Structure 1
């Protein structure tokens, strides 16, 4: 039935893809302008709607740029926020005012004084960042692969191992925002959410498919997730209980890898409160979870979900529920990290 529906929707997909192709062509020939800036823009994006792992890859880039001596900033659209227009993140903000992912970046990188901004029109966001922080040497764009009004110095395209762009179709028959040919704009293609021990033969086969669409000079890399020990959501949360029984609370696009990891650690997920990506948690959601939860079970969640769970309106509903954040980091397979570092712009002091 699903395959039949895909075939029936293909004419609409061709129409959608055609409109996107015309738009890209207008940028390619210069009829629509891409604005360049005095500092390099590093774009992390995808062709597919839904989670491909952009947030941990943005975090990896920012941490690496800091290590190299850069003064990076982060710019996102701020999906799901209750505000509009360009906005610099401050300690007075929240997931509601700037979006869950930007708020996560702000919390993670504020000790390193990394500015975070949100803007639907990225060029306005870049201008805001540079005006407020002239010390910035590089800006990392979160999810701007189709936002061609700004000109990136490095385009990083992410695609999931289990849902690669080269097997997918354009909306509505599939989940692609534009045709597979969009991969040709990428300088780096990263296949994400791979097993850490993914065989070299499998990597070679995937790379061969990717190179049917990517430019010959594009890097093809592979990454996996590295999970950290559970962190209590609040200082009052007791130490995390040992396996087996546990609950899981998520509002992300692809919770499967996290659930697989927890089960590999010996936890038996008795209840999974699984909500759509960027879900705005309500007290009723947590009360329903409480009704299914049993004392002694840890409740695991993600750092992205934790930003929304910190909303003041949820604190009464959260009282007494032991929530633990499972940190996620990007780890590159083989020498992928070394290859990517070589593509990053050098800090101004190191330029010859």
Structure 2
């Protein structure tokens, strides 16, 4: 529900929601064109502004497609980059040229999965299909509202602690469109769940989601598994001890803080920046000024790719900086249920 001050913004939120409702109706009715493609396009996105875990869930889907023998690519807008138009990631790519999340995908898969960025997803898909003729699937990162593309599978993510059904449309809340947008989803994943989320709690959350989703749409639950710290740049092989400084430029650093505290780390200082923050040498110098003997700097993998920008190498040199890798793990039978949705996408079907 909106906070007291947010009530003043509700008329603007209603106007914004109405405009989007008309836009969605035009696509749903066929009055505006939505393009399907000869290979399955899987769209992963959310209704809410901010981090819901799109990047690790896209990575999970790509791995499953690879295990099934498919040849997927990832297409993103490339938020935060300083370039425009279509770009295919290569060994020279940086966060400035393609964005931090696409660069993370490129590095995670060792360059073996094509990763491209383009503001216009239709142009991006067409270019990928033309230049990468062996592709058998394309995963769209953060394209839930990109209605010009007709996905074969639409995956909607929503956080357990910040579910879309408890939020309002911008600017009174953080939703990009009204809750009814959940009806476009073929599967809904409640992300960043507590690892011990009970079956009863899952059922309660699923009931709330199903008030807005289509009948029969699966509602799944996922959590994060955190890995051992990985050195960034020329850092030491392992952290010295449990005393750390935390450096983040992500939308929701709370789950990481909770994990670190539970793992026995003591956070002496947290330099928290906005999502996709472009770190500067001054930012790193400020963190270094807080660092005491025996402490290490921890960050996220998404932040690490921005910290490794060429312009920051000198500022980062010699600092004990480590990122904490994360992987998605589904609760109960969620992985099997999502996996079952993939093979039908590759059965022959007519392109409209």
| TM-score, normalization by structure 2 | 0.96
SS in 1 for 2:314: helix
After superposition, the C-alpha distances for 1:147-173 in whole angstroms (9 at most, x for unaligned) are: 010110000000000100001000000
After superposition, the C-alpha distances for 1:73-102 in whole angstroms (9 at most, x for unaligned) are: 000000011110111111111110000000
The residue aligned with 1:125 is 124
Decide whether the 8 Å contact of 1:158 with 1:192 is kept in 2: yes
Quote the Cα distance in structure 2 between the aligned partners of 1:5 and 1:158. Answer: 27
The residue aligned with 1:280 is 278
Q: Once structures 1 and 2 are overlaid, which stretch shifts more, 152-161 or 310-319?
A: 310-319
Q: What pairs with 1:183-262 in structure 2 (closer than 5 Å)?
A: 183-243=182-242, 245-262=243-260
The residue aligned with 1:308 is 306
The residue aligned with 1:74 is 74
After superposition, the C-alpha distances for 1:296-328 in whole angstroms (9 at most, x for unaligned) are: 111111110011001111111112210111001
Quote the Cα distance in structure 1 between the aligned partners of 2:182 and 2:240. Answer: 45
Quote the Cα distance in structure 1 between the aligned partners of 2:62 and 2:317. Answer: 34
Decide whether the 8 Å contact of 1:40 with 1:345 is kept in 2: no
Quote the Cα distance in structure 2 between the aligned partners of 1:219 and 1:208. Answer: 11
After superposition, the C-alpha distances for 1:21-74 in whole angstroms (9 at most, x for unaligned) are: 000000001111101110010010000000000000001000111011110000
Q: Residues 167 and 236 (structure 1 numbering): CA distance in 2 closer, same or farther, change over 3 Å?
A: closer
Quote the Cα distance in structure 1 between the aligned partners of 2:234 and 2:70. Answer: 33
Q: 1:217 deviation in Å?
A: 2.2
Quote the Cα distance in structure 2 between the aligned partners of 1:345 and 1:147. Answer: 24
Long gaps (5+) in structure 2 = none
Q: CA RMSD in A?
A: 1.4
Quote the Cα distance in structure 2 between the aligned partners of 1:108 and 1:347. Answer: 25
1:91 equivalent to 2:91? Answer yes
Quote the Cα distance in structure 1 between the aligned partners of 2:114 and 2:165. Answer: 35
Quote the Cα distance in structure 2 between the aligned partners of 1:337 and 1:126. Answer: 27
Q: 1:347 deviation in Å?
A: 8.1
After superposition, the C-alpha distances for 1:237-274 in whole angstroms (9 at most, x for unaligned) are: 2322232x111110000011011101111111001110
Q: 1:293 deviation in Å?
A: 1.0
Which of 321, 333, 336 is equivalent to 2:334? 336
State the 4+ residue runs in structure 1 displaced beyond 4 angstroms.
Answer: none
Decide whether the 8 Å contact of 1:137 with 1:347 is kept in 2: no
Quote the Cα distance in structure 1 between the aligned partners of 2:250 and 2:260. Answer: 16
